[in-house]
């Protein structure tokens, strides 16, 4: 029986996932792709031997590699895989659409609505969304490595060959009421901007009339905001979780998550917010569920005008428990709700400063293509053993990455895999994970927990992936990952925030040896500061980079030092040349020592205590300076002084966002 190695990819990943206005859209896009790949693995389990990914993983990547050995033609099998994925996606979309259309309270169909024509338009937008690529080549066990490398090359070439469709999937009626196809001409989707709007909520009557002629369906449902229009694909993502007991914190909720975690009498405060109980968006049962039903981002609003209350209720009318509109009760609105929110806001601010900034984290395994090709494994005795070794390595790596992904999600969202953690630490929610598909990760983190989460993810990856692999296989280097972080305002465009995080990850990967982190802090005013720094300093193991960063943060947080020394240092370093020699480094070091001493403001401390604290902070900053100067010799960190200032400014900002410091 002839065997074939099959490589399959479902995309587009960035276009499908990152085109999102809400965190719910983002999570839905990720979960849909993951579910499609998982359904293929389950459906065809008996017909192929899965190499990648691990079929027991909760979160699947968008691709798979398997060995097929059935009697059926491999071409027929590949087409069957592709057809199955398309049908699964269409079923998801049709389920959401039918649920919506059957709800006559929330959907208003245009005049002379033809359901058959509408369904055809809807289906064509769905069918043309996915980019499914697959290849198959003959497989021999003794040359597994060569087969694998060839399959990766061919799959990449196949994905680069784009299939273009003739758009003719929308209809209009002429004066004689004859239907005609005219393609994707009309008002576009508010989210992707690529496909015609099929569902909308009217805000502007002029636009509403155009959409009615376009035969789009008007929604009165809470999930679509006023003035928003959705195509079939973005509608499916928005309604994917409807009717399911699953929801997500908004970016504003992530930003103040630390305050919610620290809130004393949190439950009582949430109950107070329920008011008369007639506001759907204030309907809260218990803390964890409350975080998901009640959008805490309203606490960041400086003004609680009626339109703000409408936005956070997803409409000015009252809602029943299903989110449907009901009779508006003016006497219940406004004042009582505002007072409850203001009271709860004050309680929260007594525990933590409410910051509108949060972090997006993206990371990816370093040189994974080289690892999967076996380039970092010590060679076996002969070709046959090399192929056998690589196949075993693939299976083991897949399993370890799957285990890491599951524990990484728990680490961020609660119940972390952390030795000696208290019950409170294990249940604390520090952010939200969009996807954790092995070495790929995307998530939102509250700024108070940012450095801790980065450090713990790094340690977890080493413990769950790198160390087990090194015990079983002889490797030439460590398995590592590089991360990108974007610290942004909760009103910042979500798709742009993700792009910024991925951009910083890409820049960090240019550092020699990778194994680094790139952080961009983007103020709402437009100011941007970038930090690129390696995770480890292998040339000097006296202090880890994470320890140095934590020392600086703790010094600022304690209040013993004025955080203004970072501004003063920036002013001084601007007039000093960005030299790479030892003399320039010494001058900079002396200036750092002087400014740290001047920044000390704990007058109650004795001279000895002052000297000790000054030395600790000074040595931590020197550690950061040393690694920046060393890496500067042959990497992307070309301006070490500027990089050092940016690090200090970002750390100061992280502390200031959480604590009231000078």
The DSSP code sequence of 111-155 is TT--HHHHHHHHHHHHHTT-EEEEEEEE--GGGHHHHHHHHHHHH
Question: What is the Cα–Cα distance from 492 to 117, expressed in whole angstroms?
Answer: 38
Parse the chain into domains and list their residue ranges.
4-238, 257-349, 355-535, 537-662
Pairing, β 229-230 against β 131-138: unpaired
Per-residue tokens: 643: 């990089």
Looking at residue 68, what DSSP letter applies? E
| CA 95 to centroid of chain Cα atoms | 26
Question: What is the Cα–Cα distance from 358 to 161, expressed in whole angstroms?
Answer: 38
Pick out the chain residues at pLDDT < 50.
169, 174-177, 265, 267-292, 314-333, 542, 633
Question: What is the Cα–Cα distance from 461 to 297, expressed in whole angstroms?
Answer: 32
CATH topology of domain 355-535: Alpha-Beta Plaits (3.30.70)
Closest among 232, 206, 239 to 217, alpha carbons compared: 232
The pLDDT of residue 116: 85
Say how many C-beta atoms besides its own lie within 10 A of residue 556's C-beta.
25
The pLDDT of residue 314: 34
Length of the chain equals 662
Question: What is the Cα–Cα distance from 389 to 15, expressed in whole angstroms?
Answer: 36
Q: Which residue carries 């002379």 as its tokens?
A: 112
φ, ψ at 487 (rounded to 5°): -95, 115
The reply to whether 4-238 and 355-535 are identical in fold is: yes
The pLDDT of residue 311: 64
φ, ψ at 65 (rounded to 5°): -130, 130
Question: What is the Cα–Cα distance from 648 to 402, expressed in whole angstroms?
Answer: 36
Closest among 441, 452, 513, 527 to 484, alpha carbons compared: 441
Burial letters 470-505, b for 16+ CB under 10 A, else e: eeebeeeebbbbbbbbbbbbbebebbebbbbbbbbb
Give the burial class of 368: count Cβ atoms within 10 A of its Cβ; 0-12 exposed, 13-18 middle, 19 or more buried: middle
Domain 4-238 in this protein, CATH class: alpha beta
The pLDDT of residue 246: 72
Say how many C-beta atoms besides its own lie within 10 A of residue 87's C-beta.
12
The pLDDT of residue 58: 78
Closest among 553, 492, 484, 563 to 522, alpha carbons compared: 492
């Amino acid at each position: 029986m002839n065997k074939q190695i099959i490589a399959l990819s479902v995309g587009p990943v960035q276009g499908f996932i990152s085109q999102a206005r809400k965190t719910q859209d983002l999570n839905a896009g990720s979960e849909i792709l993951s579910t499609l790949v998982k359904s293929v693995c389950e459906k065809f389990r008996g017909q192929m031997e899965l190499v990648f990914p691990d079929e027991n993983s909760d979160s699947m990547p968008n691709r798979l590699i398997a060995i097929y050995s059935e009697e059926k033609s491999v071409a027929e099998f590949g087409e069957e895989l592709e057809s199955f994925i398309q049908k699964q996606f269409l079923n998801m979309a049709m389920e959401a659409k039918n649920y919506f259309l059957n709800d006559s309270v929330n959907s208003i169909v245009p005049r002379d609505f033809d359901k058959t024509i509408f369904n055809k338009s809807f289906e064509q937008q769905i069918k043309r969304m996915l980019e499914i690529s697959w290849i198959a080549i003959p497989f021999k066990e003794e040359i597994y490595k060569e087969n694998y490398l060839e399959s990766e090359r061919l799959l990449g070439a196949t994905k680069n060959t784009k299939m273009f469709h003739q758009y003719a999937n929308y209809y209009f009626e002429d004066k004689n009421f004859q239907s005609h196809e005219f393609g994707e001409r009309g008002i576009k989707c508010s989210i992707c901007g690529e496909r015609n709007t099929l569902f909308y909520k009217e805000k502007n009557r002029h636009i509403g009339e155009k959409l009615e002629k376009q035969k789009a369906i008007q929604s009165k449902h809470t999930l679509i905001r006023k003035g928003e229009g959705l195509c079939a694909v973005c509608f499916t993502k928005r309604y994917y979780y409807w009717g399911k007991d699953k929801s997500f914190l908004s970016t504003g909720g992530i930003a103040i998550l630390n305050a919610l975690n620290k809130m004393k009498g949190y439950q009582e405060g949430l109950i107070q917010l329920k008011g008369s109980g007639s506001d759907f968006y204030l309907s809260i049962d218990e803390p964890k569920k409350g975080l998901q039903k009640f959008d805490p981002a309203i606490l960041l609003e400086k003004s609680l005008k009626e339109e703000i209350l409408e936005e956070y209720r997803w409409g000015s009318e009252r809602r029943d428990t299903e989110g449907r509109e009901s009779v508006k009760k003016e006497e219940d609105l406004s004042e009582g709700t505002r007072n409850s929110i203001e009271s709860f806001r004050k309680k929260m601010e007594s525990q933590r400063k409410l910051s509108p900034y949060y972090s997006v984290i993206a990371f990816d395994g370093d040189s994974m293509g080289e690892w999967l090709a076996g380039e970092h494994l010590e060679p076996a005795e002969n070709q046959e053993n090399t192929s056998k070794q690589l196949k075993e390595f693939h299976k083991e790596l897949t399993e370890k990455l799957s285990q890491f992904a599951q524990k990484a999600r728990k680490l961020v969202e609660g119940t972390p895999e952390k030795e000696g953690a208290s019950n409170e630490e294990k249940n604390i929610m520090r952010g939200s994970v969009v996807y954790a598909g092995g070495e790929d990760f995307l998530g939102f983190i509250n700024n108070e927990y940012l450095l801790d989460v980065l450090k713990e993810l790094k340690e977890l990856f080493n413990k769950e992936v790198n160390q087990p692999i090194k015990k079983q296989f002889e490797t030439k280097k460590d398995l590592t990952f590089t991360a990108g972080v974007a610290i942004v305002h909760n009103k910042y465009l979500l798709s742009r925030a993700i792009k910024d995080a991925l951009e910083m990850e890409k820049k960090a990967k240019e550092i020699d040896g990778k194994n680094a982190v790139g952080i961009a802090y983007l103020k709402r005013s437009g100011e941007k500061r970038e930090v690129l720094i390696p995770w480890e300093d292998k040339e000097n193991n006296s202090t880890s980079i994470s320890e140095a960063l934590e020392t600086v943060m703790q010094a600022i947080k304690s209040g013993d030092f004025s955080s203004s020394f970072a501004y003063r240092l920036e002013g001084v370093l601007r007039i000093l040349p960005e030299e790479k020699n030892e003399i320039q480094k010494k001058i900079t070091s002396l200036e750092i020592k002087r400014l740290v001493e001047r920044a000390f403001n704990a007058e109650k401390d004795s001279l000895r205590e002052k000297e000790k604290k000054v030395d600790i902070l000074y040595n931590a900053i020197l550690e950061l300076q040393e690694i920046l100067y060393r890496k500067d010799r042959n990497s992307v960190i070309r301006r070490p002084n500027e990089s050092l200032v940016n690090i200090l400014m970002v750390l100061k900002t992280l502390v200031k966002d959480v604590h009231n410091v000078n």
